[in-house]
Structure 1
Amino acid sequence: MSLIKRGPGPRHRHERMTVSADTTAQEGGFEPEGPGREALDVLYRFVAALELAPTVAVHSIDRNGIVRYWNHTCADVFGISAAEAVGKPLTSLASHLDREADFLSTLDTVWRTGRSAPPRDWHIRRLDGAERWLYSTHFPVLRDGVPQQLFCMEVDISKRKVDEAELLAAGANFRQLFQRSTDAIVLIEGNRIMDANPAALALFRCAGKQDIAGKTLLDFSPEVQATGETSTVADAAVTARAFIDGNYRYEWEFALADGTHFWAEVLLTSVTLDHEFLSYAVLRDISPRKAAEHALAMAARVFENSRDAILIIDRQYRVIAVNQAFTALTGIEAGDVMGEQVPGLHSGTHEPLFYQQIWDVVAVHDHWEGEVCCVRRDGEERPVWVAVTAIRDSAEQVSNYMAIMTDITERKRAEEQTRHLAEHDFLTDLPNRVLFLDRLHQALVSARRQHSKVAVMFLDLDRFKGINDSFGHHVGDAVLKEVATRLTGCVRGVDTVSRQGGDEFVVILADIGGVDQAAHVASSVMHAVAQPVRSNGHTISLSVSIGIALCPDDGLDVDTLLRHADVAMYHAKQNGRNAFSFFNADMNAHVIERVQIENELRHALSNHEFFLEYQPEINIASGRTTGVEALLRWRHPQRGLLMPHQFIAVAEECGLMVPIGEWVLCQACSKARAWRDEGSPVVVAVNLSGAQFLHGGLVHSVDEALRQSGLAPAFLDLEITESVIMRGDEAGMATVAALRARGVQLTIDDFGTGYSSLSFLRRYPLTKLKIDRSFVDEIAEPAPRADGAASASLIPAIIAVARSLQLRVTAEGVETAEQLQFLARHGCDDYQGYYASMASADPDLKPRA
């Protein structure tokens, strides 16, 4: 262990100390704040009671009889200072004249029994030849029931002995002394009080002798008063002891009629007065001393049994006492440090002047406390809270210093755990947003100082919601943990990977060279994430979209960089996902425009800005119009006519697609009913977005649209994209079954762009499928597709699949006669597109019967 030594001096060879860097100086001193401050104050008061007791000499010895503690009063009584006494055998410091063997026997009894010895007088001779009478009490200090030290509290009664001798020698003058004595004296015949002097009447608070005469001393005992038992036997025993020994000294607690108690020292002496054999008792009120002894005994027990290590240091900075907790904490035995100067400094963590400041604070404020690194003898380091306090005597002079050391290892560990939980994501253990923002702030400060660059990467797993929905959240959690591990492996130790929530991660690349280095890291991340993840028997393929912003190029502050990285990530997703993108001004303008469109979309329905156009579906064989597809248009008050690709994606992302889709459904059904009433019964096709299909109220919305319009279900065709139908969950299958049960037709839209299988499609009661226009566009092109397959061979294959499922086939995007002839030659049922629309001059597209 190490404390701090003021000024030069020898250093202890075992231990060293450092003061925690978070200890701060305030107003010229250190602000004391630490664990259990009230407990430290209690310890301080007890230890100060031991050290500064003005009338009681307190010392302690170990089992070998070696002095371990020696207070200031001991130095006055024995004529030996603490520095000279500590570490030496007690028997070498004074002799007990002809009772040395009796004294040693008394100590041995206390050690063996673990019980205090009755107080008694001892006649000693000091080393300087002076003789003293001491009234001594010996008691053990126990820990776990085993005596650890033997404390002795002694009062110098040399003057009192002289007074007693003079009283015995007074003889004929006894009566005069009896009346004038300031000590309480009572005359006893047999065992009852026959007379009492004025001092005795005052002590027992008696108005006259009649209030005490005839009673025994034990009648004033609280035990006798409580039980009502007679005191004759006990009184007789005490009186007999006085006549046998000539005098007998004991201490007794007395209780008065008014309920107050006091302790008295009783000297019972046998005398012959006027030829009568009597005894007299001299009583001295020792209540203050007993209270002091009780406090000192309590202090000794607290000192030895305290879980905090305690050192008492003299004015020369020498250790004069340590408790057992000190050895447990530091690994240093008491004998190795007693009498030595406080161990010096060896760590070198701070300059010596820093440690000198601590003593300067104690000199001014009488106190310092702070966190210290305690290095045990075996080399283990432990954080310790140390409180150093100056102990002053009655003259306000520093007599000692006390250091109380509290092991805060567990508290520090708990604080660290709490801090970790507060700053890290519970699932991946990556830094959370709180710690991330702090580190990004520090990285930007460092970059400004060193004129370097910092990159912020926003990462979002592509289609992660589908993993949770398809395999369950436990698999999703396992995927997130694996991704966190992979991301950490792609960056340096100085970088930070943080999970912001859900499937969003953010990476800080500190002190990078520039765009090329950021691009390299992004490529590494994409490659790492793309490796299949195996969890719970499933093999899952992943991809990630990444947005990158650099400081100072794309922003100088935290908020700007994060916003721009998010914009870049959104741009990467808009461009097909599984890519990374750097921020630029055009992206920002695009995002701003998207936000504006979102805000304007929220008012478009209520402002009646939407309308529908209808594109005919024509039977190839007959040329007759068999149905129409309702197409949504937005007549924007400032932007003009907007097509679906300009706002549908925004509507889906901001949650507006369901109410917009319900409006389209109602309008289309009403129009189809009107055509039917005019004699043109055609089927109206309405596109359903993924949000509508997954919405629990789709079936109810269809029922309402059909009810309000009066349209028969057979004249409503709902078009669902291949990607939506291929989810294959129970809710989706139930929705399809409910719609077909009502007679509504169901079509797979954009067939060929997804990953459907024949066996999967057979599970759904579909009506027809539509060939995506991308296949139709390539009919006249001789070059093969990128995957090596020619469109001319794919379209017949798609038609063959539809025939095997007993579905009608409609081709989208037909614009030329050549395309129509190809489709007719391979058995396609219907077509739609620009070529079909030219056949109708009616702006409402009133179909031909």
Structure 2
Amino acid sequence: MAPQDHLPPSAQRAAPNPALAALDLIARLVAALEHTPLVAVCSIDREGRVRFCNRACADLSGVAPEAVVGQPLKCLFSRGDREAEHDALVEQAWRTGRHSPIGDWHVRTASGQELWLYSTLVPVYHEGELTQVFCMDVDISARKHAERTLYLAAQVFENSRDAILLMDRDRHVISINRAYSEITGYGSGDMPGKPLSVYRSCIEDETFFRAVWDQIEATDHWQGEIWSRRKGGELFPAWLALTAIRDSHDQVSNYMAIVSDITERKRSEEQTRHLAEHDFLTDLPNRVLLLDRLSLALSAARRNGSMLAILFLDLDRFKRINDTLGHQVGDQLLQEVAARLLKCVRKVDTVSRQGGDEFVIILAGIGGIDHAAHVADTIRQAICQPYAIGAHELHVSTSIGVSIFPSDGDDIDTLVKNADIAMYHAKQGGRNNFQFFSAEMNERIVERASFEQGLRRALAEGQFELAFEPELDIATGTLVALEALIRWRHPELGLLLPERFLGVAEEAGLMVPIGDWVLREACRHARRWHDGGQAVAVAVNLSLTQFMQRDLVDRVRAALEAAGLEARFLELELTESIIMKGGGATAATLHGLRALGVRLSLDDFGTGWSRLGQLKDYPIDKLKIAQAFLRDGGDETVIRTIIAMARSMRMTVIAEGVETPGQLAFLRGEGCDLYQGRQAEAAVQDSGLGGVASLGSLAVQGRADAWQS
């Protein structure tokens, strides 16, 4: 008898049926799964068709439960190119009957939404027989997004070109990225766990960093330049940006430091600053840096009650080297001068180049003017030593002006101006010397400035006049030409001779407009003489500055055309300094003038350094014997030599400054062609040449703007 046969009937009816119990369990499980909100569940038969899906599955897929029953599993979630892989796993679950977590899947729902699912296949048995397989999916899209975000953040952190360092709330290092390692030399295992303060430089003090962290506590941010330290101890300039990171409770959880190595930027800034403050040719401080240093030196001198000297230097006749040998040689000479100046002063002093051939030196904290005088003379002697520049041995000197603080000024502008004034007087005193500033110098410079302004007014208001000196044939006494000589009818000082004002005109840059005025006025009056029956030539002196104008030939042509004067009646007188310059440009200009038909005369011949060979290269028509050879008994040998040389080159010879009958007789006997001076003026007066009466005092006036219009 079976055991249950011994039970009462009621007990027998209550005894559970295992099969029914299993079915009941499954029913309850399905009911539970139906309402499980977090897990999408569907059952799959052996043919891979959906037999059931819960509400979560329907919501996740976007398909109603009744619409998927009997449909393939992919109607819920499409797995793209992994569809066959998923089908194989389902088939494997039916074949083996084993529970199988099959991992993460990227799927697309019927509505087109992309999701990440974590899937598990669960076989279900009934009475020992595998009846269905449940596919259970959990939406892990949010987790995947977070993982992706973390991955990207990690990649950004690790691969950032900026060095990044992470700290905990106690400012202990958690992690550093690759860029930080490359910049500092610290490896990923060197720093974690250690306080950031261990890696600071010794340049910024505790007060500085306390202020930094105070600002971070107040604003969560700080950025600025600091000095950082590499693993080997080397310091480098860095840009540091510190940020406090707060958690969901608004509490600081971490700190992030971004460090940029700005060594190259600082080097570039320094180079830019250096270029802005230094002369490109000599690398000496320029005017900008000079004024800055002078301001500091003056402040220190006032504070300490000490003296300070300003030396203003200008090289003597440097322009001649530039013009004759070229700017490259001139530049090399300036570089050598700069090197010599640096050797003459202390390291605390400043040597600067102001441009051109001007230098200014600051002698700070001197004990007295003797110190300044000693340095000035040392410089003067150093500059005078020969220079070997390429194949040339050059000689230059310098004129130096000195001003002293506080006696010669209490501010920068006054001290520099007074040193410049003193330098000008050093040049006026013969060059190659130094002068200390004095009040008398300032008065003279003010007078000179007034004189310069007067010259400009003279050009504009027609205060210049021309006087004419006759040139006579020594054999016949015939009037051959008239030399035009400029005079200035000054409104206060009266009639001024050229030696009184042409030096100032040269320095003021007025020689070209004044020379043009003389040229045009002389041509105009020569034409008037011709119209009056006196066909004589007019001679005009050319200054070196005027001759160096590239358009000189055009200017002369314009003057002739404006006056209607034939070129053969114009004679241009040149000084030997023009011939000394030599070179292709000089020859080209002279030949250009000769091509116009203008006659060329060499003035004061014998006083310079012209060589016979040089004269043969140029189309010179006339040599003028300087008056110096006739004065005080004369130098008859030199005069005979000049006349003989001129004859050999078929040049006309004229003697200037002939004052006595004896001089005239000597010149006539030696074969001189022409003469001028008191004897010539007297002869003209005695001859009664009415067309040019009173030639010794003949003067004409004209406004500068009369020929400029």
CA deviation after TM superposition for structure 1 residue 522, in Å: 2.9
Question: Match of 1:337, SS?
Answer: coil
Spell out, residue by residue over 1:634-668, the C-alpha distance to the aligned partner (whole angstroms, 9 max, x if none): 21334432221233234344444334333323433
- TM-score, length-scaled by structure 1: 0.70
Q: Read off the aligned partner of 1:200 and give its amino acid letter.
A: C
- The CA distance in 1 between the partners of 2:49 and 2:83, in whole Å, is 10
Which residue does 1:508 correspond to in 2? Answer: 362
- The CA distance in 2 between the partners of 1:836 and 1:380, in whole Å, is 89
1:188 to 21, 44, 48: 44
**Quick check: 2:284–2:353 contact (8 Å CA) kept in 1?**
yes
Which residue does 1:723 correspond to in 2? Answer: 577
Q: Read off the aligned partner of 1:206 and give its amino acid letter.
A: V
Which residue does 1:247 correspond to in 2? Answer: 100
Which residue does 1:439 correspond to in 2? Answer: 293
Unmatched segments (≥5 aa) in structure 1: 1-167, 225-229, 781-790
Cα 1:367–1:737 shift into 2, 3 Å = closer
Spell out, residue by residue over 1:265-292, the C-alpha distance to the aligned partner (whole angstroms, 9 max, x if none): 2232111368662122232222221111
Q: Please say which of residues 178-187 and 331-340 is displaced more in the overlay.
A: 331-340
CA deviation after TM superposition for structure 1 residue 708, in Å: 5.4
CA deviation after TM superposition for structure 1 residue 474, in Å: 2.8
**Quick check: 1:216–1:231 contact (8 Å CA) kept in 2?**
no
1:430 aligned onto 2:284: yes
1:374 to 219, 228, 235: 228
- The CA distance in 1 between the partners of 2:553 and 2:84, in whole Å, is 105
Which residue does 1:341 correspond to in 2? Answer: 195
Which residue does 2:115 correspond to in 1? Answer: 262
Q: Please say which of residues 694-703 and 707-716 is displaced more in the overlay.
A: 707-716
Cα 1:350–1:821 shift into 2, 3 Å = farther
Which residue does 2:28 correspond to in 1? Answer: 173
Spell out, residue by residue over 1:474-526, the C-alpha distance to the aligned partner (whole angstroms, 9 max, x if none): 33332333233223333222222333333333333333334333333333333
CA deviation after TM superposition for structure 1 residue 232, in Å: 4.9
Which residue does 1:48 correspond to in 2? Answer: none
1:235 aligned onto 2:87: yes
Q: Read off the aligned partner of 1:234 and give its amino acid letter.
A: H
CA deviation after TM superposition for structure 1 residue 201, in Å: 1.4
Q: Read off the aligned partner of 1:256 and give its amino acid letter.
A: T
1:633 aligned onto 2:482: no
- The CA distance in 2 between the partners of 1:567 and 1:222, in whole Å, is 95
Cα 1:845–1:255 shift into 2, 3 Å = same
Question: Match of 1:231, SS?
Answer: helix
**Quick check: 2:200–2:229 contact (8 Å CA) kept in 1?**
no
Question: Match of 1:201, SS?
Answer: helix
**Quick check: 1:455–1:509 contact (8 Å CA) kept in 2?**
yes
Alignment of 1:324-339 (within 5 A): 324-339=178-193
CA deviation after TM superposition for structure 1 residue 689, in Å: 1.5
CA deviation after TM superposition for structure 1 residue 747, in Å: 2.0
Alignment of 1:81-160 (within 5 A): none
**Quick check: 1:206–1:212 contact (8 Å CA) kept in 2?**
no
CA deviation after TM superposition for structure 1 residue 610, in Å: 1.8
Alignment of 1:61-76 (within 5 A): none
- The CA distance in 2 between the partners of 1:514 and 1:812, in whole Å, is 53
CA deviation after TM superposition for structure 1 residue 530, in Å: 3.0
Question: Match of 2:581, SS?
Answer: coil
Cα 1:661–1:331 shift into 2, 3 Å = closer
Alignment of 1:737-748 (within 5 A): 737-741=591-595, 743-748=597-602
Q: Read off the aligned partner of 1:216 and give its amino acid letter.
A: L
- The CA distance in 1 between the partners of 2:416 and 2:505, in whole Å, is 24
Unmatched segments (≥5 aa) in structure 2: 1-22, 697-709
- The CA distance in 1 between the partners of 2:593 and 2:259, in whole Å, is 78
Alignment of 1:600-611 (within 5 A): 600-611=454-465
CA deviation after TM superposition for structure 1 residue 632, in Å: 0.8
- The CA distance in 1 between the partners of 2:133 and 2:457, in whole Å, is 114
Question: Match of 1:754, SS?
Answer: coil
**Quick check: 1:683–1:715 contact (8 Å CA) kept in 2?**
yes
Q: Read off the aligned partner of 1:293 and give its amino acid letter.
A: E
Cα 1:179–1:668 shift into 2, 3 Å = closer
Spell out, residue by residue over 1:320-345, the C-alpha distance to the aligned partner (whole angstroms, 9 max, x if none): 33334444333344444333333537
Which residue does 1:521 correspond to in 2? Answer: 375
Cα 1:374–1:702 shift into 2, 3 Å = closer
Alignment of 1:536-685 (within 5 A): 536-617=390-471, 626-675=480-529, 682-685=536-539
CA deviation after TM superposition for structure 1 residue 613, in Å: 1.2
1:288 to 135, 139, 142: 142
Which residue does 1:25 correspond to in 2? Answer: none
Spell out, residue by residue over 1:695-736, the C-alpha distance to the aligned partner (whole angstroms, 9 max, x if none): 344334444544555655454332111101221122322332
**Quick check: 1:193–1:217 contact (8 Å CA) kept in 2?**
no
Which residue does 1:118 correspond to in 2? Answer: none
- The CA distance in 1 between the partners of 2:475 and 2:52, in whole Å, is 146
Which residue does 1:401 correspond to in 2? Answer: 255
Question: Match of 2:196, SS?
Answer: coil
Question: Match of 1:364, SS?
Answer: helix
**Quick check: 1:614–1:844 contact (8 Å CA) kept in 2?**
no
- The CA distance in 1 between the partners of 2:326 and 2:248, in whole Å, is 76
2:303 to 438, 449, 454: 449
**Quick check: 2:107–2:114 contact (8 Å CA) kept in 1?**
yes
Question: Match of 1:726, SS?
Answer: helix
Cα 1:294–1:667 shift into 2, 3 Å = closer
- The CA distance in 1 between the partners of 2:591 and 2:55, in whole Å, is 115
**Quick check: 1:384–1:409 contact (8 Å CA) kept in 2?**
yes
Q: Read off the aligned partner of 1:546 and give its amino acid letter.
A: I
- The CA distance in 2 between the partners of 1:171 and 1:561, in whole Å, is 109
- The CA distance in 2 between the partners of 1:667 and 1:657, in whole Å, is 15
Spell out, residue by residue over 1:360-383, the C-alpha distance to the aligned partner (whole angstroms, 9 max, x if none): 333222233333323334332222
Q: Please say which of residues 274-283 and 759-768 is displaced more in the overlay.
A: 274-283
CA deviation after TM superposition for structure 1 residue 171, in Å: 4.8
1:209 aligned onto 2:66: yes
Alignment of 1:705-716 (within 5 A): 705-706=559-560, 713-716=567-570
**Quick check: 2:459–2:514 contact (8 Å CA) kept in 1?**
yes
Q: Read off the aligned partner of 1:174 and give its amino acid letter.
A: L
Which residue does 1:845 correspond to in 2? Answer: 694
- The CA distance in 2 between the partners of 1:619 and 1:589, in whole Å, is 49
- The CA distance in 2 between the partners of 1:549 and 1:632, in whole Å, is 38
**Quick check: 1:218–1:235 contact (8 Å CA) kept in 2?**
no
Cα 1:545–1:709 shift into 2, 3 Å = same
- The CA distance in 2 between the partners of 1:714 and 1:180, in whole Å, is 125
Cα 1:800–1:335 shift into 2, 3 Å = same
1:534 aligned onto 2:388: yes
Highest Rg: 1 or 2? 2
**Quick check: 2:400–2:434 contact (8 Å CA) kept in 1?**
yes
Cα 1:594–1:325 shift into 2, 3 Å = same
**Quick check: 2:313–2:398 contact (8 Å CA) kept in 1?**
yes
Count of residues paired in the alignment: 667
Spell out, residue by residue over 1:306-331, the C-alpha distance to the aligned partner (whole angstroms, 9 max, x if none): 44443333334433333344443333
Q: CA RMSD in A?
A: 3.7
Cα 1:417–1:668 shift into 2, 3 Å = closer
Q: Which has the higher helix share?
A: 2
Q: Read off the aligned partner of 1:214 and give its amino acid letter.
A: Q
**Quick check: 1:669–1:711 contact (8 Å CA) kept in 2?**
yes
Question: Match of 2:345, SS?
Answer: coil
**Quick check: 2:658–2:680 contact (8 Å CA) kept in 1?**
yes
Cα 1:835–1:406 shift into 2, 3 Å = same
Q: Read off the aligned partner of 1:197 and give its amino acid letter.
A: N
**Quick check: 1:568–1:583 contact (8 Å CA) kept in 2?**
yes
Spell out, residue by residue over 1:5-46, the C-alpha distance to the aligned partner (whole angstroms, 9 max, x if none): xxxxxxxxxxxxxxxxxxxxxxxxxxxxxxxxxxxxxxxxxx
